[in-house]
Structure 1
Amino acid sequence: MTDLTDPSPWTGSSDDPNDEQFGDVVETATLATADEYDVVLVGEPYDGAVIGRPGARAGPAALRRELGGTKTHHIERGPVRSVADLGDIEIPAGGVERVQSAVRSITAEIHATGAVPVFLGGDNSLTFPNAAPLLAHETVGAVSFDAHLDCRAVRDEPTSGTPYRQLHDAGLDTLAVVGARHFETSTAYHDYLAEQGGTVLPPASVAGDPAGAVDDALAALGDVDAVYVSLDLDVLDAAAAPGVSAPTPGGLSTRELFRMLGRVASDDRIAGFEIVECAPPLDAGNRTARAGARAVAHFLSGLGGDR
């Protein structure tokens, strides 16, 4: 049976006693103690289903390293608190369907705790087992920050391009994709998402009013009971995030993304968050991992806050 590895203790990198970093405040926990925290981090070192370039299996370690050295204080919202690390999900050998099934068995237990899970990926194929446990209990909408729609049909096996088709087949009520690029996803998949009542907000819809774009995405979900948020780092412009499976120009700026993540996290229906496709072997100067860690920090700062 798939399990969680023991998490390593976190430490900050600063020698200034006035510097409080995530490395100073993130504690280690188990499934039995997870409900003592607002948020639990979960690593998913896997890229066996990626359509593009592999490397995301190294994402969790890089994101933890960069987050550990990030200060906890948000200027408007104050410091982030009550975060624990559950370790990494042990990824079994075998095909993608087996991996998804094994991961889902653990994510179901994590969702059953009182904490909001933050999954550190890993490739986008794990979006399906990360969010699927929510479908058994509630109406669920997803907000996906992504350059692509990721609703391809499953052929031989699932891939990093199929998770939202799988989720819709399993009962996902609706999906809003923020930052999807022109000329990146074929007509058939745009038509499919439209048939499901989905919404696409390209980068031009974000520019100038990121908060308004998030409000539009959340409004498009209607009155669902739970909201799952996914961040594929390829939503950022390739200059800001070169270390992803499929970097492309014309994406969001880090400033736009951070503003939107803090705002979407303030929705009181948030039931989970993930960050996927951080691929350190493909990165340049740790830019992608650093942007990803800041994205996590901004999301955490917004949880439970005012919009």
Structure 2
Amino acid sequence: MNQKPISIVGMPSDLGQGRRGVDMGPSAIRYASAQSLIKRLGYEVEDLGDIAIPSPESIDMGSSSLKYLSAIKQVNEQLAGVVSDVVERGRFPLVLGGDHSMAIGTIAGIAKHHKNMGVIWFDAHGDLNTGETSPSGNIHGMSLAVSLGIGHPDLVNIGGFAPKINPEKTVIVGARELDLGERELIKNLGIKVYSMHDIDRIGMAQVMEEAISIVSQDTDGVHLSLDLDGLDPKDAPGVGTPVPGGISYRESHLALEMLAEANILTSAEFVEVNPILDRENQTAKVAVALMGSMLGQTVI
């Protein structure tokens, strides 16, 4: 990143998630000393505070197949505007969440400036559902599909254009729980997925070498969307949708260290930290440690 100045944005939303508490994720990450770590690594950093999010109790849920659609559209439009302004000022957007529906706004804001962006989606899930295929109706499981231009028009057209990203330049790392509709979409679009089977079989180093090659070739920027449930629940217990058998703490650091070495990231978000389900803020501390590796922190 060549010491590019960083702007932190909080997205304390739990509208897209079925379990409450993830709205406190940005505060938990800040409390885990995110800003002081970034400063110690030599970056100039500003914190722009949080996007204002209505509580689920104060608004109508709407359709059970697209829960809180109207509110999620509104807050992601706001986030897209803030992120776009950050990029316009020549800064690196670092967005803290919050449920993964926030990626709709983050990517919309970045894609306004990066027309051929690569994406690394570090997640146990594909987030490739739509209102028709989702078993839950929770929009945090639709955010990647929306960014690819698939889903409800109110979400797909946030920012005034669609699609935001190209499936051929999108890589999912750590998948181990995919719904039937997501599997079909992955095959139809040709999205590269490195499941836990792949990581076990060829190792994280080779996975990241291949992923970096895919997302950096003929692109004008690379976004990292890191869901903490990509890690094994033993290392990151404070997430709403934990899936056993995930990426280890050390494998996660290696992945982000390799991204730092490749010097390709132009934006990042860390999502789904839920302090209510956590132990002594462990998951937020893991998120901050991984940010350090992403920003070039090394042992020696």
TM-score range, shorter chain: 0.7 to 0.9
Paired residues of 2:51 and 2:78 also in contact (CA < 8 A): no
Relative to structure 1, the CA distance from residue 188 to residue 152 in structure 2 (aligned partners, 3 Å threshold; closer, same or farther) is same
Match of 2:45 in 1: 83
Alignment of 1:285 with 2:280, yes or no, is yes
Partner letter of residue 106 of structure 2?
N
Paired residues of 2:128 and 2:144 also in contact (CA < 8 A): yes
Q: 1:165 aligns with which of 140, 145, 150?
A: 145
C-alpha distance in 2 between matches for 1:91 and 1:266: 36
2:127 aligned counterpart, secondary structure: coil
Match of 2:244 in 1: 249
Gapped runs of 5+ residues in structure 2?
60-70, 150-161
Partner letter of residue 186 of structure 1?
D
Relative to structure 1, the CA distance from residue 265 to residue 191 in structure 2 (aligned partners, 3 Å threshold; closer, same or farther) is farther
Alignment of 1:38 with 2:33, yes or no, is no
Deviates more, 1:209-218 or 1:64-73: 64-73
C-alpha distance in 2 between matches for 1:68 and 1:149: 27
Alignment of 1:123 with 2:99, yes or no, is yes
2:171 aligned counterpart, secondary structure: strand
Partner letter of residue 237 of structure 1?
D
Partner letter of residue 179 of structure 2?
S
Partner letter of residue 49 of structure 2?
G
Aligned length: 261
Normalised TM-score (structure 1)? 0.77
1:58 aligned counterpart, secondary structure: helix
Identity of aligned residues (%): 30
Relative to structure 1, the CA distance from residue 136 to residue 70 in structure 2 (aligned partners, 3 Å threshold; closer, same or farther) is closer
Paired residues of 1:226 and 1:270 also in contact (CA < 8 A): yes
C-alpha distance in 2 between matches for 1:290 and 1:132: 28
C-alpha distance in 2 between matches for 1:203 and 1:285: 27
CA deviation digits over 1:39-70, x for unaligned, max 9? 121111111111x3221110111111113597
Match of 1:100 in 2: 76
Within 5 A, what are the aligned runs for 1:90-239? Answer: 90-91=52-53, 95-137=71-113, 138-154=115-131, 159-169=139-149, 170-171=162-163, 172-174=165-167, 175-181=170-176, 184-207=177-200, 209-221=203-215, 222-239=217-234
C-alpha distance in 2 between matches for 1:282 and 1:129: 25
Partner letter of residue 64 of structure 1?
R
Paired residues of 1:92 and 1:102 also in contact (CA < 8 A): no
Normalised TM-score (structure 2)? 0.79
User: 1:80 Cα shift?
Assistant: 4.1
User: 1:198 Cα shift?
Assistant: 0.9
User: 1:209 Cα shift?
Assistant: 3.4
2:93 aligned counterpart, secondary structure: strand
C-alpha distance in 2 between matches for 1:107 and 1:68: 19
User: 1:84 Cα shift?
Assistant: 2.6
User: 1:289 Cα shift?
Assistant: 1.4
Match of 2:156 in 1: none
Deviates more, 1:273-282 or 1:168-177: 168-177
